Amino acid sequence: MILFFSKQNLTIYAVQSLHNLSKTDIQKLNWLFGDTSLNEKSLLTAGIDRCFIGPRSAMITPWSTNAVEITQNMAIEGIVRIEEFHIVLKTQADFDPMLLQKYDTLDQDVFTINIQPEPILEITDIAAYNKDEGLSLNQEEVTYLQDLSKKLERPLTDSEVFGFSQVNSEHCRHKIFNGTFIIDGKEKPSSLFKLIKKTATENPNTIISAYKDNVAFIDGPTIEQFAPKSADKPDFYEKKNYHSVISLKAETHNFPTTVEPFNGAATGSGGEIRDRLAGGKGSLPLAGTAVYMTSYSRLEKNRPWEQNFKARKWLYQTPLDLLIKASNGASDFGNKFGQPLIAGSVLTFEHKESLSNSPKEPEAEPRLLGYDKVIMMAGGIGYGKKDQSIKDKPKAGDNIVILGGDNYRIGMGGAAVSSADTGAFSSGIELNAIQRSNPEMQKRAANAIRAMVERDVNLIVSIHDHGAGGHLNCLSELIEETGGKINLDALPVGDPTLSAKEIIGNESQERMGLVIGKENTATLRRIAERERAPMYEVGTVTSDNRFVFVSKAGKSPMDLALADMFGSSPKTIMKGITVRRNYPTLHYDAKKIKYYLTQVLQLEAVACKDWLTNKVDRCVTGRVAKQQCVGPLQIPLNNCGVMALDYNGKEGVATSIGHSPISGLIDPIAGSRNSIAEALTNIVWAPLKDGLQSVSLSANWMWPCNNEGEDARLYEAVEAVSQFAIALGINVPTGKDSLSMKQKYPDGDVISPGTVIISAAGNCDAITQVVEPLLQKGKGSIYYLNLSKDGFKLGGSSFAQILNEIGNEAPSVNDASYFKNTFNTIQDLIRNNHIAAGHDISSGGLLTALLEMCFADTNLGADIILPNHSKGGAFETDDLIKILFAENSGLLIQANEDVAIENTFAKANIEAYKIGTVTESDSINITHGSTSEIFSISEMRDIWYKTSHLLDRKQSSISKADERYENYKNQPLNYTFPTKFNGNLPEINTTKPRIKAAILREKGSNSEREMANAMYLAGFDVKDVHMTDLISGRETLEGIQFIAAVGGFSNSDVLGSAKGWAGAFLYNEKA
């Protein structure tokens, strides 16, 4: 039976129960739903001009699963489903058709399903099936499957053809990076992947694991584990040391974010977290990063750089919607999972070319460039135990287990569709390929994995995340060397209408697959049940090298030899030609510096990112040592994020990001070098254990392959990354590629610029010494260092962008050994406390960097005198525009004391130009020869903040965004500490009796570890208690003298923040 509860005539809660509910139960539900009333009608209508919007009848939503679990915790029995319906005007009935549907009435049949799952299909025309389903199989692959069908003497099933397309897609198998390149008729000696691997061969440094897992590990320090003694029952926290490894990963989710930005970015972040969870035999996430690249946002009409290229009839979302919704999605997932986001980047760009490839050729057709197919990159750092960093080999008889949620008709074909140009398939196929996020479910699974990792002996044999290709990809990777048999009926189903193909191929998120010995499965089950992490034993490892799904009825949608499934996809051959594009020389007026500056400061890449940082958690875990916001005004200017590896030491992990795709349009080699250089000039401010040698890179490649000239440019760019990294003495042990970066429109295509995003990470062994980009009053002089060893060039710069141009000369980094020497010299200066402030020079150039070093405080300025006609040096030009706006790789440094820093640079043969001093004023005064310019800090800061303010108005209350804009600089932060406070950790006296405290947590809550550590330092013995412990009677709190309940998103905030948790206490006798 179904009961309907009405709330303010706007919301209906439909409750499906196996029996009549008591009066007491109904009262509990009225409380839970928030002052609702039971509607006695069996048929509900919304009104003539209104309708109900609610979940599809066939899909039991994660929201329902949470709501039902809440009622169980409140001692209400018999409820099997609860769904929420909203009454809206029919004219405003906008909804996601994958998840929701429109109802004119609600009655007792609202959850009745009259759809039978499709039977297993035999595919006799593979070519037609490939086209109809959008599987992206090429002709060689179609032929291969046809031949396989003949060899097996039977038609392949729909699951087998679909499965082959997923696990052998470009997205999963990186066929282009492993392929052969023939450029201008000559075969290249190495594949792209070999070029990247060469960096690790030449510079292994501290690599522990590379190219054989979804994450890279580098050697870490010995750190302290602070965790409960036991994970399958309530227990007290204890400390123990272990040898760590540091993880680095970055993952793009470009196609899903283009189509549905919130869930696309959210599941991108979630998938990247799962990659780190699945490293080795399990590892733990620490912090996330994010990059967003779109076409121009068109926030206002008076932005001249956006006028050259008209807005398109966007396929799915406008760039403005993409920026806001994608960042909402990434932020939401991290916030709910409990991972801080501590670094990131934004770039908007588009350009309309109308030029010939050579002066002798006639004018070519315009080439349209822009991030219409967006880039959304989620990255992150983490850590694990060195003795768990390599997976074991499964053996016959081991159990195959899944942790996480149910299967839904979500993300079907995501791997294959992601491998094609967006717009190549129907919107229905593309929408069907998008995943939906459920971070609270992932948190439950992650807690179970955390428990295994923190054991003295990790019982997991091997582990993989569910991402592209769903069960097909995850489970086949788990048993790739052995074979496995999967019980189709054991796979959890949240939608009973799913066919066998949809069950095994959907990309419902937040699931982990793992192999564990039969004798150890019970231990994992106890932990999973305690964490409320759904756990399913779904199969067995075999030794026959086959991958088989079979039902109890004996039906088998898939039965293939692993060699047939994986090993025979034809090798990709990329044939390209070199195309040199002659971009016009830049023309500008040297007298309009202030005007140009006001434009540059409003580009999303340069402007304030407060609209991003004000909605994301930057402190959860209690181990954030350095995040984006700086100074008394706490505005985002830090480009280096740092996390502590434990609560009591100085060891940590630093991370940063770099990219330079527009300079790469002029010269792909320069673009690659500049991207690495930016990441390194961002991370240099964190003292690294072994200087530059401590750094490892992730290279994520987004490129419009199979377009004229682009394959050759990609090869040049990858080769440049390889050669530059090798010359610097560092490696690239991880990365990803997305090589179909083109948006197809009915009237033409828009190509995304070839882009490499570099993420850097390294062991920071002095997390309290990280330098910030904030000039200090009363300290030494300001110095400029040109790391590029190149003349000032404006090509590919933000300055060129505001002119609607690209430019014909891009700066590069011409001397790797000089760059390396400078990097390590800066590291030594930081360790010796000789640097008061520092900032890299990148988007916006030198002038922007100087302004940014003044923005985060009040009454802070600088007097700058730039060298004039410095023969043979960085300032050889007298073009002030080039000096101020060129984005040559460089650094700004403020000394603590001038003599020490100048002596160090002189000994190291580094050119450091003393260019100014810090003043207590509201201006930067710049002198260059006979030219003088004065820039008001407060005026320029408001202009720099303006773009963030406009974006904030689109994503939050307009009045509140306006209020924030008016007040952000009026309330400088000022710390006042107690008189006896010295910043040192207290000494723990374990000889005296300690008060017993309990940390209470619920599924979806986070922050229990930092709360426990704070209480431990305050003198408590701290016990970890889950709500399941109280409800089951495992824990009675006997002997506990103090209770702390942590925050987070318990029960995913279903029915209100902590409402379900409160209900468990209020209506459960044991709790």
Structure tokens that stand for 855 in this block: 């923005």
- Dihedrals φ, ψ of 900, to 5°? -60, -40
Query: What pairing do the DSSP bridges indicate for beta strands 186-187 and 180-183?
Result: antiparallel
Helices (H), 134-288: 139-152, 158-167, 170-173, 192-202, 254-259, 261-277
In a domain, 535, yes or no: yes
The predicted structure's pLDDT at residue 435 = 67
Give the range of the structural domain holding residue 459, as residue numbers without chain letter: 122-177+397-569
Instruction: Say if residue 954's pLDDT is above 50.
Output: yes
Amino acid at 92: Q
DSSP 688: B
Only one residue has tokens 């697959």, namely: 513
The predicted structure's pLDDT at residue 931 = 92
Between CA 3 and CA 956 the distance in angstroms is 36
User: What DSSP string describes 948-988?
Assistant: HHHHHHHHS-HHHHHHHHHHTTTS-------TT--SPPPPP
In a domain, 587, yes or no: no
The predicted structure's pLDDT at residue 358 = 41
Please report which confidence band the pLDDT of residue 958 belongs to, taking 50, 70 and 90 as the band edges. very high
Least trusted range by pLDDT, from 54-63, 966-975, 1023-1032 = 54-63
Instruction: Say if residue 146's pLDDT is above 60.
Output: yes
- 32 and 157 inside one domain: no
Between CA 62 and CA 688 the distance in angstroms is 43
Instruction: Say if residue 414's pLDDT is above 50.
Output: no
Calculate mean pLDDT across residues 1053-1070: 90
Instruction: Say if residue 626's pLDDT is above 80.
Output: yes
H/E stretch holding 381 reads strand 375-385
Between CA 44 and CA 550 the distance in angstroms is 43
In a domain, 43, yes or no: yes
Between CA 1060 and CA 1050 the distance in angstroms is 8
Between CA 841 and CA 819 the distance in angstroms is 14
- 22 and 153 inside one domain: no
Is residue 64 a contact partner of residue 82, using CB atoms and an 8 Å limit? yes
Instruction: Say if residue 103's pLDDT is above 50.
Output: yes
Higher per-residue confidence, 494 vs 222? 222
Query: What pairing do the DSSP bridges indicate for beta strands 742-745 and 186-187?
Result: unpaired
Between CA 792 and CA 330 the distance in angstroms is 37
Domain boundary among 507, 537, 569: 569
Is residue 757 a contact partner of residue 702, using CB atoms and an 8 Å limit? yes
Between CA 338 and CA 332 the distance in angstroms is 10
- 24 and 78 inside one domain: yes
pLDDT in tens, 844-874: 999 999 999 999 999 999 999 998 876 666 7
The predicted structure's pLDDT at residue 469 = 82
Q: How many domains does the chain have?
A: 3
Structure tokens that stand for 927 in this block: 């002198």
Is residue 603 a contact partner of residue 626, using CB atoms and an 8 Å limit? no
The predicted structure's pLDDT at residue 866 = 94
- 404 and 518 inside one domain: yes
Calculate mean pLDDT across residues 872-885: 87
Instruction: Say if residue 114's pLDDT is above 90.
Output: no
Between CA 850 and CA 933 the distance in angstroms is 13
In a domain, 223, yes or no: no
- 426 and 560 inside one domain: yes
Mean pLDDT score across all residues of the chain = 92
Only one residue has tokens 């399903």, namely: 113
DSSP 493: B
CATH number of the structural domain spanning residue 150? 3.90.650.10
In a domain, 259, yes or no: no
Please report which confidence band the pLDDT of residue 418 belongs to, taking 50, 70 and 90 as the band edges. very low
Angle at 461 between CA 459 and CA 465, to 5 degrees: 110
- 412 and 522 inside one domain: yes
The predicted structure's pLDDT at residue 113 = 79
Domain boundary among 535, 551, 569: 569
User: What DSSP string describes 790-825?
Assistant: S----TTSHHHHHTT---S-------HHHHHHHHHH
The predicted structure's pLDDT at residue 872 = 62
- 1036 and 1061 inside one domain: yes
pLDDT in tens, 255-295: 889 988 998 999 999 999 999 999 999 999 999 999 999 99
User: What DSSP string describes 405-461?
Assistant: --B-S-STTHHHHHTS-BTSS-HHHHHHT-----HHHHHHHHHHHHHHHHSSS--EE
pLDDT in tens, 287-298: 999 999 999 999
Q: Which residues pair with 353 in a beta bridge?
A: 367
The predicted structure's pLDDT at residue 416 = 44
In a domain, 368, yes or no: no
1010-1015-1021-1026 Cα dihedral, nearest 10 degrees: -50
Domain boundary among 569, 586, 611: 569
Structure tokens that stand for 253 in this block: 């989710």
H/E stretch holding 332 reads helix 319-337
Instruction: Say if residue 801's pLDDT is above 60.
Output: yes
- 1001 and 1059 inside one domain: yes
Is residue 798 a contact partner of residue 885, using CB atoms and an 8 Å limit? yes
H/E stretch holding 996 reads strand 995-1001
Quick one: which of 19, 23, 16 has its CA closest to 106? Answer: 16
Q: In angstroms, what CA-CA distances link 537 with 399, 485, 524, 548?
A: 7, 12, 11, 15
Q: In angstroms, what CA-CA distances link 160 with 166, 504, 558, 566?
A: 10, 10, 6, 12
In a domain, 411, yes or no: yes
Structure tokens that stand for 501 in this block: 């193909």
Instruction: Say if residue 378's pLDDT is above 70.
Output: yes
Amino acid at 67: A
H/E stretch holding 537 reads strand 535-541
Q: Which residues pair with 87 in a beta bridge?
A: 52
Structure tokens that stand for 896 in this block: 């603590």
In a domain, 912, yes or no: no
Between CA 255 and CA 976 the distance in angstroms is 48
Is residue 277 a contact partner of residue 449, using CB atoms and an 8 Å limit? yes
- 1063 and 1001 inside one domain: yes
Please report which confidence band the pLDDT of residue 571 belongs to, taking 50, 70 and 90 as the band edges. confident
pLDDT in tens, 702-761: 999 999 999 999 999 999 999 999 999 999 999 999 999 999 998 889 999 999 999 999
Query: How does 966-978 read in b/e, with b if 16+ C-beta sit within 10 Å?
Result: eebbeeeeeeeee
Least trusted range by pLDDT, from 54-58, 136-140, 310-314, 871-875 = 871-875
**What share of the chain in percent tops pLDDT 90?**
79
- How far from chain centre, in Å, is Cα 905? 38
pLDDT in tens, 473-504: 899 999 999 999 999 999 999 888 899 999 99
Please report which confidence band the pLDDT of residue 429 belongs to, taking 50, 70 and 90 as the band edges. very low
- 64 and 128 inside one domain: no
H/E stretch holding 512 reads strand 511-516
Strand 186-187: give its sheet, edge to edge: 186-187, 180-183, 573-576
- 424 and 538 inside one domain: yes
**CB contact set of 597 (below 8 Å; sequence gap of 6+):** 847, 848, 884, 935, 940
SS3 833: coil
Instruction: Say if residue 700's pLDDT is above 90.
Output: yes
The predicted structure's pLDDT at residue 413 = 46
The predicted structure's pLDDT at residue 566 = 83
Please report which confidence band the pLDDT of residue 254 belongs to, taking 50, 70 and 90 as the band edges. very high
Structure tokens that stand for 64 in this block: 């329902």
Q: In angstroms, what CA-CA distances link 323 with 14, 297, 319, 611, 758?
A: 35, 8, 6, 10, 21
Least trusted range by pLDDT, from 171-185, 478-492, 667-681, 715-729 = 171-185
SS3 1006: coil
Please report which confidence band the pLDDT of residue 359 belongs to, taking 50, 70 and 90 as the band edges. very low
The predicted structure's pLDDT at residue 411 = 67
Between CA 230 and CA 882 the distance in angstroms is 62
The residue ranges of DSSP E strands in 175-297, in sequence order, are 180-183, 186-187, 207-209, 216-228, 235-252, 284-294
Higher per-residue confidence, 287 vs 58? 287
Please report which confidence band the pLDDT of residue 355 belongs to, taking 50, 70 and 90 as the band edges. low
- 93 and 130 inside one domain: no
